[in-house]
Amino acid sequence: MSDTLQILQAVNGFYDSAWSRLVTVVGILIGVGAVVVPLFVAWMQNRAFRKERMVLEEEAKKQIAEIKQSFIDTTERLKKQIEEKIKAETERLDESSEGVFGALHMLQAQIAQSQRKFGESAIDYARSVGHLLAGKDYANAAIAIDGVKDWLRYFTIEDFSKDPDLEKVVANLVSLLSDSRHERRFVTTVEEIVKLWKEAKGRIGRTPSGS
């Protein structure tokens, strides 16, 4: 009986001790869990946050790059449009200015003719052609060319001897009208001017005339 009691007491002591240890271990685990689990959760959340932040940063960089490129493209397009408008306006002003210079030379040619300065008149007519063609005033250019041809029908070798510039101006006119930009328009005209030029340089003497 005594042995049985001792065994029961030993068993009971063992279970009490085991239970106490179990309670202690469980308490420790609970305590550790109370610390570790929040830390783990916080770590996971921080990791997810960092990943999300990286994604947002990459998206932001992409959007900024797209906006920057769009700005550059828009700026280049506007710059090109402005340059084209400036170029067109400059060309228009240049053409207008050339037309004015051409008209002035034609006026001088007519004044010189009225003053019987026939060489000067022919030179001004010839010089007006280049300005008028540059200004795309083909109608007045044709009138000026006719003026030159009329004088070539009138001139003699003496006129070219008296005014060396006359020879140069006629040669320049032929060169201008033979240029690839005007060649098709003035093929026949060039041939006629060259023919009249040669005839004038071979003509000796004339009956004085005012035109």
Q: Which two tokens stand for residue 208?
A: 């004085």
Greatest alpha-carbon pair distance for the chain in Å reads: 176
Alpha-carbon distance of 160 to 169, in angstroms, equals 11
Whether 128 is covered by a domain: the verdict is yes
Cα–Cα distance list, 143 to 74, 108, 124, 139 (Å):
48, 14, 12, 7
Report how many domains make up the chain: 1
Question: Which residue range(s) make up the domain with 174?
Answer: 97-201
Cα–Cα distance list, 44 to 29, 34, 79 (Å):
21, 16, 52
Whether 124 is covered by a domain: the verdict is yes
| Residue stretches of the chain with pLDDT short of 70 | 1-16, 18-19, 22-23, 25-26, 29, 31-33, 36, 85-95, 183, 206-211
pLDDT at position 54? 82
pLDDT at position 63? 84
Alpha-carbon distance of 76 to 86, in angstroms, equals 15
pLDDT at position 52? 80
Whether 127 is covered by a domain: the verdict is yes
pLDDT at position 9? 65
How much is the CA Rg of the chain, to the nearest whole Å?
Answer: 52
Whether 43 is covered by a domain: the verdict is no
Whether 88 is covered by a domain: the verdict is no
Residue type, 165: D
- Its pTM stands at 0.55
Whether 64 is covered by a domain: the verdict is no
What count of Cα atoms within 13 Å lies in the side-chain half-sphere of residue 211? 6
pLDDT at position 36? 67
Whether 148 is covered by a domain: the verdict is yes
